[in-house]
């Protein structure tokens, strides 16, 4: 049975759909279903839609648009969106040269570096949405054994392409940035290119798999950072 | 319309000066912040005075000492913060329209009220448009702030502009008020009653930690809330960080965040807060929807 999300008006023109459940593939397909519905049925009524793990927010053109949506929400029949089946292969060099926290993280989890790499690169992750920085993907699916509290003192500078673990998440820094996650490797791929339309290659619902590469391959790919393949 | 393009050259600037327009809407789904003007009231006033298009780009300046030279005739307009202004070394009006001749040098001196000065120009500044906006943002536009020697393109206007309201006064009373109006944010209900009371009854100060991404308040609040799933945030969202800091997000803020989103500023209060400087006091008042 489809449980309807709760809609809350935050300001006269801003509101959000909220689900009281943990992030999952099934919740994501419901969120994407609502976004698809909004884009088809309410296209000229909103300025902006934003998506998080358990909410979808809508910035309306006018207070009347929000009011109309709220008045009719009970009647809407919104089908969950079928998640895409493609899986992007993301090359990652898990070498201490690129993953400066790899050793310490392995020790803190009482495992070898090889087991850590194996755990991180053996599963597929689901791309839920972009946020934090242009092109930063929020991924779900980090194995429990790798969940790690964020650093108490963030690094002043994390290199672009750094693959990192923070809390129950893993992600890739699309550009140089301060950051509080543990750096375990680096990917040579381009995550965001403002000259391209769209500037990112993935869409919410896509799957991501990290593929270990050695230093030689990494250096070759860094000369001409590619977009990934699926 | 193809008008001849000329340039203005920045001779001196503090950190954080930028070109801004209404921002980059519709790209949040790629993680792109909206950016754009913080104090929209001053921005609209300037483009109105100059008889510009609504979205014509202006300069946003938050440090005294900004000096710029124009290569060709035009008209400019100033609004936002109040500062002493010199044109070719002579004191001049610090708001409203200012006619500019070839090689004129404009200097922005000490700021006496507000935090951000807006400098608009006839037909707008013509820096590159990325994803539909000229607003500077690191990693998107080629430069993320103006520096000494920066050349900013604009269109020549040899004085055909009828200056119909050159004497219109710019009042700054509207941002002198300490009251900031807010709506309850999506996570407001998670706060304990005594924390809500403190939030809505005490006076808070703007800290030094303030930039286009956000303004941090000096006073701390108790925070016993758990870390929440990352969800959407907007300009004007007030987050309560794990250390109990209150963070008011501005236009360059990220599009999603994991801290509780306890309040949402109403639109005009976002313009007011943009004109507050470190040390200024604010009182938060709840507004009914």
Please give the ipTM for the structure prediction. 0.93
Query: Same structural domain for residues B149 and B233?
Result: no
Q: Which residue of B has its CA nearest to A193?
A: B140
pLDDT of residue B267: 96
Residue B163 has pLDDT above 60, yes or no: no
B116 with B275: CB under 8 angstroms?
A: yes
User: Same domain for B50 and B125?
Assistant: yes
Helix or strand holding residue A71 (H, E): helix A63-72
In the predicted structure, residue B63 carries a pLDDT above the cut 90: yes
User: In a 3-state reduction of DSSP, which class is residue B90?
Assistant: strand
Q: Sign of dihedral through CA atoms A171, A180, A131, B241?
A: positive
**CATH number of the domain within which B215 lies:** 2.40.100.10
Average pLDDT value over all residues in chain B: 94
On whether both A34 and A132 belong to a single domain, the answer is no
Is residue B99's pLDDT more than 90? yes
Please report whether residue A228 resides in a domain: no
Nearest CB to B254; choose among A14, A132, A204: A132
What is the model's pLDDT at position A4?
A: 84
CB contact under 8 A, B131 and A175: no
**Domain match, B139 and B198 both:** no
| Domain CATH for A124 | 2.40.100.10
Counting the structural domains of chain B, the total is 2
Same domain, B96 and B214: no
Lowest mean pLDDT among A126-135, B47-56, B92-101, B188-197: B92-101
Measured between CA atoms, the residue of chain A closest to residue B27 is: A48
Distance CA B235, CA A176 (A): 23
Nearest to B124 by CA among B53, B72, B57, B59: B57
Instruction: Match 């597929």 to its residue by tokens.
Output: A124
Helix, coil or strand: residue A106: helix
B34/B145 same-domain check = yes
Cα dist. B70→A17, B88, B107, B118 in Å?
Answer: 50, 11, 12, 16
Enumerate residues 6+ apart whose C-beta is below 8 A from B79.
B42, B43, B45, B46, B49, B95, B117, B118, B120, B170
A59 and A161 share one domain: no
pLDDT at position B15 is: 95
Whether residue B164 is found in the same domain as residue B193 = no
**Shortest CA gap B134–chain A (Å):** 13
Same-domain check for residues B9 and B151: yes
Q: Is the pLDDT of residue A224 over 80?
A: yes
Q: Which residues of A lie closer than 8 Å to B, measured between beta carbons? A: 8-12, 14, 16, 18, 22-23, 47-57, 59, 129-136, 138, 167, 174-175, 192, 194, 198-200, 204
- Band (pLDDT 50/70/90 cuts) for residue B159 is low
Report the chain A residue with the minimal C-alpha distance to residue B186. Answer: A10
Q: What is the pLDDT of residue A151?
A: 87
Based on the fold, state whether residues A168 and A121 are members of the same structural domain.
yes
**Cis omega before residue A198 (within 30°)?**
yes
- The residue among A40, A75, A110 that closes a domain is A75
Number of domains chain A contains? 2
Tell me the CATH number at A10: 3.30.1360.40
Give residue A139's pLDDT.
97
Asked if residue A167 belongs to a domain, the reply is yes
Residue A229 belongs to some domain of the structure:
no
Going by pLDDT thresholds of 50, 70 and 90, the confidence category of residue B226 is confident
Q: Is residue A53 domain-shared with residue A92, that is, in the same domain?
A: no
Same domain, B120 and B133: yes
Q: Are A197 and A214 in contact (CB under 8 A)?
A: no
Q: Is it the case that residue A24 has pLDDT exceeding 70?
A: yes
| One domain for residues A67 and A31 | yes
Q: Are residues A159 and A206 in the same domain?
A: yes
First vs last Cα of chain B: how many Å apart? 44
In sequence order, the β-bridge partners of residue B181 are: B285
Last residue of one domain, picked from the residues B137, B172, B207: B172
Task: Kindly give, in sequence order, each residue whose CB lies less than 8 Å from that of residue A7, ignoring residues fewer than 6 positions away.
Answer: A15, A16, A17, A18, A69, A70, A73
Closest CA to A116 of A91, A89, A147: A147
Range of the domain at A195: 87-223
CB contact under 8 A, B231 and A132: no
Pair (A110, A58) in one structural domain? no
Q: Is residue A80 part of a domain?
A: no
Instruction: Using DSSP bridges, classify how beta strands B74-87 and B90-92 pair: parallel, antiparallel or unpaired.
Output: antiparallel
Contacts of residue B30 in chain A, CB cutoff 8 Å? 130, 134-135, 192, 198-200
- Residue B168's pLDDT is 62
- Residue A79 confidence (pLDDT): 94
Give residue A207's pLDDT: 97
Summarize the confidence of residues B124-139 as an average pLDDT.
96
Shared domain for B10 and B139, answered yes or no, is yes
Tell if the CB–CB gap between A48 and B34 is shorter than 8 Å: yes
Q: What's the pLDDT at B171?
A: 85
Contact A11 B255 (CB under 8 A): no
| Count of alpha carbons within 13 angstroms of residue B116, beta-carbon side | 28
- The verdict on B49 and B131 lying in the same domain is yes
pLDDT value at A97 more than 90: yes
Distance CA B25, CA B46 (A): 21
| Nearest chain A alpha carbon to B33 | A134
Helix axis angle, B267-274 to B40-49, nearest 10°: 90
Q: Which member of A51, A55, A134 has the closest CB to residue B140?
A: A134
Tokens of A154: 């963030």
In a domain, residue A151? The reply is yes
Residues B15 and B95 in one domain: yes
Residues of chain B in contact with residue A52, where contact means CB-CB under 8 angstroms, are: 229-232, 256
Last residue of a domain, one of B172, B194, B224: B172
Q: The domain containing residue B218 runs over which residues? A: 177-286
Question: Cα separation of A132 and B232, whole Å?
Answer: 10
The CB density around residue B55, as the number of other CB atoms within 10 Å, is 16
Are A113 and A215 in the same domain? yes
Q: Answer with the one of B141, B172, B203 that is the final residue of a domain.
A: B172
Residue A17's closest chain B neighbor by CA?
Answer: B186
Which residue out of B231, B257, B263, B288 would a mutagenesis test of the A interface target, given it has the greatest number of A Cβ atoms within 10 Å? B231
Do the domain assignments include residue A37? Answer: yes
Same domain, A105 and A216: yes
Question: Do both A121 and A190 map to the same domain?
Answer: yes
Q: Give the strand pairing for A87-92 and A207-212.
A: parallel
What is the percent of chain A with per-residue pLDDT over 90, rounded to a whole number?
Answer: 88
- Asked if residue A14 and residue A71 are part of one domain, the reply reads yes
- B274: its two tokens: 């943009």
Mutate to test the interface with B, among A13, A36, A48 (most CBs of B within 10 A): A48
A54 shares its domain with A103: no
Residue B289 and residue A66: Cα distance in Å, rounded? 12
Does a structural domain hold residue A81? no
CB atoms A56 and B232 under 8 Å? yes
Using DSSP's 3-state secondary structure scheme, residue B139 falls into: coil
Contact A51 B29 (CB under 8 A): yes
* Residue A154 confidence class, pLDDT cut points 50, 70, 90: confident
Identify the residue whose tokens are 């109040």: B82
A22 CB neighbours in chain B (<8 A) are: 229
pLDDT recorded at residue B162: 57
- For residues B194 and B121, membership in a common domain is answered with no
pTM of the model: 0.94
What percentage of chain A reaches a pLDDT higher than 70? 99
Q: Among B32, B34, B264, whose Cβ lies nearest the Cβ of A14?
A: B264
Tokens, residue A209: 């798999």
């Amino acid at each position: 049975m489809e449980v309807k999300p709760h809609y809350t008006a935050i300001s006269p023109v801003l509101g959000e759909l909220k689900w009281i459940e943990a992030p999952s593939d099934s919740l994501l397909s419901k969120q994407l279903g609502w976004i698809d519905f909004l884009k088809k049925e309410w296209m000229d009524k909103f300025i902006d839609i934003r998506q998080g793990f358990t909410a979808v927010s809508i910035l309306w053109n006018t207070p009347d648009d929000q009011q109309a949506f709220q008045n009719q929400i009970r009647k809407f029949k919104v089908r969950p969106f079928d998640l895409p089946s493609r899986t992007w292969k993301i090359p990652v060099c898990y070498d201490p040269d690129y993953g400066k926290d790899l050793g310490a993280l392995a020790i803190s989890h009482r495992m070898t570096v090889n087991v850590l790499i194996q755990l991180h690169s053996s599963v597929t992750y689901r791309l839920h949405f972009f946020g934090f920085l242009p092109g930063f993907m929020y991924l779900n699916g980090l194995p429990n054994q790798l969940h790690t509290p964020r650093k108490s003192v963030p690094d002043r500078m994390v290199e672009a392409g750094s693959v990192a673990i923070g809390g129950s998440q893993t992600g890739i820094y699309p550009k140089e940035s301060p950051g509080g996650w543990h750096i375990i490797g680096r990917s040579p791929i381009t995550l965001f290119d403002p000259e391209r339309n769209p500037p990112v290659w993935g869409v919410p619902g896509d799957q991501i798999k990290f593929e270990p590469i050695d230093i030689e391959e990494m250096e070759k790919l860094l000369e001409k950072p590619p977009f990934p393949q699926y | 319309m193809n008008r001849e393009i000329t340039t203005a050259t920045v001779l001196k600037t503090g950190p954080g000066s930028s070109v801004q327009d209404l921002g980059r809407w519709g790209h949040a789904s790629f993680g792109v912040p909206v950016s754009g003007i913080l104090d929209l009231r001053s921005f609209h006033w300037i483009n109105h005075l100059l008889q510009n298009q609504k979205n014509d780009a202006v300069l946003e300046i938050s440090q005294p000492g900004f000096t710029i030279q124009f290569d060709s005739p035009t008209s400019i307009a100033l609004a936002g913060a109040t500062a002493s202004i010199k044109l070719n070394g002579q004191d001049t009006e610090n708001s409203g329209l200012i006619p500019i001749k070839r090689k004129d040098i404009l200097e922005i001196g000490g700021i006496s009220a507000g935090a951000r000065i807006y400098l608009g120009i006839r037909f707008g500044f013509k820096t590159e448009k990325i994803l539909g906006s000229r607003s500077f943002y690191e990693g998107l536009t080629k430069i993320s702030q103006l520096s000494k020697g920066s050349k900013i393109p604009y269109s020549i206007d040899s004085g055909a502009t009828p200056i119909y309201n050159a004497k219109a006064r710019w009042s700054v009373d509207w941002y002198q008020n300490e009251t900031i109006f807010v709506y309850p944010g999506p996570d407001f209900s998670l706060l304990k009653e005594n924390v809500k009371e403190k939030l809505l009854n005490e006076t808070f100060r703007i800290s030094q930690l303030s930039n286009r991404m956000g303004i941090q308040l000096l006073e701390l609040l108790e925070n016993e809330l758990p870390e929440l799933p990352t969800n959407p945030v907007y300009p004007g969202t007030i987050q309560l960080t794990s250390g109990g800091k209150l963070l008011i997000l501005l236009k360059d803020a990220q599009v999603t965040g994991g801290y509780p989103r306890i309040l949402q500023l109403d639109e005009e209060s976002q313009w007011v807060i943009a004109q507050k400087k470190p040390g200024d006091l604010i009182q938060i008042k709840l507004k009914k929807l």
